[in-house]
């Protein structure tokens, strides 16, 4: 691990609802649209790879991610949240710390605990789509993939 700050993470919710209200905070262009049609996002975003933030608030960051065949993420781990995904299309593989491999397809849900490096790749022949659920500020800590050896010279920490 590259960082060892033991300070506990906290969340402050500054805007509290005081009672029933219409969804005035909804943003029609996203994030936080009342209704997102995945097919519309795919059409608007065009050629992968791409990612589109769908929902963002104090506790959650939900992102639709498209990868072309062979594409994927930079292997990384998180300090303060467990991350999970819903696969909406294609065939994806998670290479995890400790030699664990998870392969998932449409309608599958994958969960990875904090501290586990996850290297996600599209192992199929079609576009892959996954909905990623993370927690702000969603700090990412790069770590080479112990399974496939993927590494690069990019940033060691980044915020998504």
Q: Which residues contact Zn ion by CB under 5 A?
A: 83
- Which residue, 25 or 148, is less far from Zn ion as judged by CB? 148
- Which residue, 33 or 86, is less far from Zn ion as judged by CB? 86
Query: Could you write out the DSSP letters of every residue in the chain?
Result: ------PPP---------S----TT--TTSSS-S---HHHHHHHH-SSSEEEEEEESSS-EEEEEEE-TT-B---EE-SS--EEEEEEESEEEEEETTTEEEEEETT-EEEE-TT--EEEEE-SSS-EEEEEEE-TT-EEEE---TTT----SS-SEEE-
Residue 86 Cβ, how far from Zn ion at the closest point, in Å? Answer: 14
- Which residue, 33 or 150, is less far from Zn ion as judged by CB? 150
Residue 131 Cβ, how far from Zn ion at the closest point, in Å? Answer: 13
- Which residue, 33 or 79, is less far from Zn ion as judged by CB? 79
- Which residue, 26 or 103, is less far from Zn ion as judged by CB? 103
Residue 20 Cβ, how far from Zn ion at the closest point, in Å? Answer: 35
Residue 160 Cβ, how far from Zn ion at the closest point, in Å? Answer: 8
Residue 102 near residue 85 (C-beta atoms within 8 A): no
d(CA 142, CA 140): 6
- Closest residue to Zn ion using C-beta atoms: 83
Residue 106 Cβ, how far from Zn ion at the closest point, in Å? Answer: 20
């Amino acid at each position: 691990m590259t960082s060892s700050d033991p300070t506990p993470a906290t969340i402050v919710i500054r805007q509290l609802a005081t009672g029933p209200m219409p969804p005035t905070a909804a943003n029609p262009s996203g994030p936080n649209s009342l209704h997102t049609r995945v097919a519309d996002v795919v059409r608007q975003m065009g050629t992968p790879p791409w990612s589109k933030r769908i929902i963002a608030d104090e506790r959650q960051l939900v992102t639709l991610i498209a990868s072309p065949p062979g594409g994927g993420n930079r292997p990384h781990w998180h300090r303060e949240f467990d991350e999970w995904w819903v696969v909406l299309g294609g065939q994806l593989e998670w290479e995890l710390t400790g030699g664990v491999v998870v392969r998932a397809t449409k309608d599958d849900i994958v969960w990875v605990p904090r501290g586990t490096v996850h290297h996600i790749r599209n192992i199929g022949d079609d576009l892959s789509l996954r909905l990623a659920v993370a927690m702000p500020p969603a700090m990412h800590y790069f770590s080479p993939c112990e399974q496939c050896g993927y590494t690069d010279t990019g940033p060691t920490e980044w915020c998504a």
